[in-house]
Structure 1
Amino acid sequence: MLHPIPTTCWRGANLGLEFYRAMLLQMDPSAMAAHSTINHHVDGMQYLCLHRTPRLTVKLYLIEEPKNPNSGFLVHPHSHRYAFLSTVLHGRLQHLRFKPMPGQGWQCFTYRAEGRRRTSAGECDLRLQRIERRSAGSSYFVAPDEVHTLRMHEPWRGRPAPVLIGLTQFADTKSRSELYLPKGVAEVAYPQDRRPSVVELDRLRRRCLQLMGAAASPGEVLR
């Protein structure tokens, strides 16, 4: 059952937050389950798919206490097959952009997410171009040929603050992405990922609404 979008949805200043909130309220749990993932990229990062077609995907990343950071990053530096626009909906993090350069400090791989297949593409160096400190309401665009990653802020009182990111993904423009590992790192620490149940989706949905400052009302439950 789809829920009506509140008529006041677009009257706030943060249209990004209201857009993702409206999508979350409209989600079909059965359709979501086919593409959402528990422990996506790292343990403690949940992927909620709100809409998916070959040309446009809308999703949320909920990051709480990630368990296996990769060389100090949330994930290893990488590019994508597609362009996307991200909006921080809750919390804060660092978005880092890199430029590949001649050198031998990093291993470069071409990568296909299907089957997690990677093929060596030689060695290089990565020059850190920019560190972008992003907080709630901030957006950033990443093109397919850009190399980037994320880094969580230091824990507060021993625990990292939760981060919620909304992401609008556009159509693929290339068949493979690139993955970069520090020299000497042979393997990627893949998480114990799996598909969520409908009950888990309901809990995650409510958690996201809570972080966006819009807890679900009794009439806004999954059917």
Structure 2
Amino acid sequence: MWNYEKRLEYPVNITTPNPKIAQIIMSQYGGPDGEMGASMRYLSQRFTAPNRIVAGVLNDIGTEELAHLEMVSTIVHQLTCNLSLEEIQNSGFANYYVDHTTGIWPQAAGGVPFNSCEFQSKGDPLTDLFEDLAAEQKARSTYDNILRLVKDPEVADPIRFLRAREVVHFQRFGEALRSVQDELNSKNFYAFNPSFDAKTFCAAPQPGAGQGNCCTR
């Protein structure tokens, strides 16, 4: 369950519309390394987390990614607010405008729609956490690329905040990975799936209940 606060995690106050830049930043809404995929990845992976530390990290970061999704969509909205038809045509925004007017829709900067195949939930904590580490670095790289292209300080400021959070998330996933590895014999890190082959985190089986309740940690 979530409690929604009617404010952004970090303020976004853009006074100069720029649909050309909006098309670039849109990639962090629904692109291959964007916030939509990140939130779905982590909130899906948490169910097979092998311990409370990993489950907590995935839940916390997955929730924060939803807040980042809200920030990115707000940036795109403010950059495309009150556009004239001339601005739409001259900025290359016409193709998007035809399909969505100025509504927010998940796609990459190149126009490719969001696809859930862009993230994975494998059910193996080592596999998933290494993907999570890579995902945070790819998102950080994307924000770096955006900052090289964005000159408006009102846009760059919240983008810098989002980039900084990717670095923090990377560090937290590293700590989560260590918590998993510390519970394993170093010789068998990759010999089995600690969430599937070793049921140490499951509740004791009840009569007639098979393997027990893995939702109880």
Pick the TM interval, shorter chain. under 0.3
Which TM-score applies when normalising by structure 1? 0.24
Higher helix share: 2
- Give the alignment's TM-score, normalised by structure 2: 0.24
